[in-house]
Amino acid sequence: MKGRWIVFEGLDGAGTTTQVKLLESSLRGLLGDQALIRSTAEPTHGPFGEICRQALKGQISLDRRTLALAFTTDRCQHVFSEGGIEATLDSGGWILQDRYLHSTLAYQDGPDRDWLEALHSIFPRPDLLFFIDTPIAECLSRIRSRGQDQELFEREEVLRSVQAAYQRILEKESVTHRVEILDGTQPAGSLHRQVLERIQSHFHPAG
Ligand code: TYD
């Protein structure tokens, strides 16, 4: 049996990480201890993901194409390596994921768009993609309230172009894949209930 793969996307501060955590705990309750449920994120904590994180923190400076390749290489390992996403799905597991290729297509969008899309043609798509649509001002205020150092893309003008790129990507993906757009201004608990409802209607996980 093949498992289910659910990905959350959104701007920095949109609330994807919280939703992955809430979903993991609800699914464990619904599916029981025997179910294989794995939460994961990109960039990963593998070697290429660490390079991405260093670039995000400004500890190393990478050319934009090099950074796009670093995110994509990290993803390649995440999906295709032994014990990776593909293998987990093949053994019937659930993958709940914070960010995937849509992040590269949105954040690294620009003059290299065709090249990036071609690079991503080999990657499988998730069974369901949630986009948490949170206004930029709200995202920035949440990021500020975390009190951490500002990362590479956590600036208003950058998030504006990322948001436009996401819109284009979501439109395109929704022609061939399941995409659900959720209002990210709702409290985390209400958002989570909607996530569960949409999952129930797509996959009936408990029945
Ligand atoms: P985020 O998901 O918020 O992770 P953390 O909570 O660990 O900071 O941040 C990851 C950042 O990386 C975010 O700004 C989006 C960016 N990113 C890309 O630019 N391209 C990608 O392919 C991915 C996966 C992330």
Give the pLDDT confidence of 76-119 residue by residue, as tens digits: 999 999 999 999 999 999 999 999 999 999 999 999 999 999 99
Q: What is the mean pLDDT of residues 23-46?
A: 96
Q: Cβ(12) to ligand 1 under 6 A?
A: yes
Distance CA 9, CA 12 (A): 9
For 35-90, how does the pLDDT look when each residue is reduced to its tens digit (9 = 90+)? 999 999 999 999 999 999 999 999 999 999 999 999 999 999 999 999 999 999 99
Q: Check residue 205 and give its pLDDT.
A: 73
For 4-42+93-202, CATH number out of 2.40.10.480, 3.40.50.300, 3.30.2020.30, 3.20.20.80 equals 3.40.50.300
The residue count for the chain: 207
Q: Cβ(133) to ligand 1 under 6 A?
A: no
Sheet order of strands, 94-98 included: 37-41, 94-98, 5-10, 128-133, 179-183
Q: Which atom of ligand 1 is nearest to the CA of 16?
A: 2
Distance CA 200, CA 136 (A): 30
The angle formed by the CA atoms of residues 23, 15 and 67, to the nearest 5 degrees, is 110
pTM of the model: 0.97
With a CB cutoff of 8 Å and minimum separation 6, the contacts of 136 are 11, 156, 159, 160, 163
Q: Cβ(42) to ligand 1 under 6 A?
A: yes
Q: Cβ(99) to ligand 1 under 6 A?
A: yes
Beta bridge partners of 37: 94
Q: Which atom of ligand 1 is nearest to the CA of 100?
A: 24
Domains of the chain: which residue ranges? Answer: 4-42+93-202
- CA 142 → CA 43, 53, 124, 137, 181, distances in Å? 20, 20, 32, 9, 20
C-alpha 34 – ligand 1 centre gap (Å): 31
